[in-house]
């Protein structure tokens, strides 16, 4: 859905879900970039300090497991936040639906409003149905 703004290009509205997906994709890209940067640094360290490949392999395994744990943790947090947002939206929708009057309730409310406009009926009037007015 696009929204036209005076004299400017249309601005695309984004839902909360799409915004969260974009943020999640950015986070994954940042983690992947940090991982590749760390790999480059370790390779440079290997060349400079002449560390064995076994040590480097152990470092990579430790790093990969750490990154994997952090990814899982971030995914769980993302899912919990998304479910909280969905829960709030669903509750708001339920509340809105519950507040809408049914046709019979609206008719009863209209009758009560009409009666409340006439606080006291004349005492001489016969209020029984079908009785002639005096």
Give the tens place of pLDDT for each residue, 63-101. 889 888 988 998 899 889 888 888 888 888 888 777 766
Please count the structural domains in the chain.
1
Terminal CA-CA length for the chain:
64
User: Collapsing DSSP states into helix, strand and coil, what is residue 123?
Assistant: coil
Q: Is residue 126 part of a domain?
A: no
Give me the domain span that covers residue 96: 15-115
Q: Kindly report whether the global pTM for this prediction surpasses the value 0.75.
A: no
Contacts of 70 (CB under 8 A, 6+ apart): 31
Q: Residue 19 — very low, low, confident or very high, per pLDDT cuts 50/70/90?
A: confident
Q: Is residue 29 part of a domain?
A: yes
Q: Is residue 106 part of a domain?
A: yes
Q: Is residue 55 part of a domain?
A: yes
Q: Among 14, 9, 16, which residue's Cα sits nearest to residue 83?
A: 16
Do 18 and 26 contact (CB within 8 A), yes or no? no
pLDDT of 7: 54
Do 30 and 38 contact (CB within 8 A), yes or no? no
Structure tokens at 48: 């400079």
pLDDT of 121: 52
Mean pLDDT, residues 6-14 taken together: 54
Q: Is residue 33 part of a domain?
A: yes
Give the C-alpha distances (Å, rounded to integers) separating 131 from 38, 58, 118.
Answer: 95, 100, 20
């Amino acid at each position: 859905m696009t929204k036209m703004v005076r004299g400017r290009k249309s601005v695309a509205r984004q839902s909360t879900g799409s915004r969260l997906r974009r943020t999640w994709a950015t986070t994954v890209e940042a983690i992947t970039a940090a991982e590749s940067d760390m790999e480059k640094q370790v390779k440079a360290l290997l060349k400079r300090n002449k560390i064995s490949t076994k040590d480097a392999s152990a470092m990579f395994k430790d790093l990969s497991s750490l990154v994997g744990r952090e990814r899982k943790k971030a995914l769980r947090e993302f899912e919990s936040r998304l479910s909280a947002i969905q829960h709030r939206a669903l509750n708001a929708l339920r509340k809105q639906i519950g507040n809408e009057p049914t046709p019979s309730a609206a008719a009863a409310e209209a009758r009560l409003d009409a009666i409340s406009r006439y606080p006291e009926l004349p005492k001489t009037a016969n209020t029984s149905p079908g009785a002639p007015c005096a």
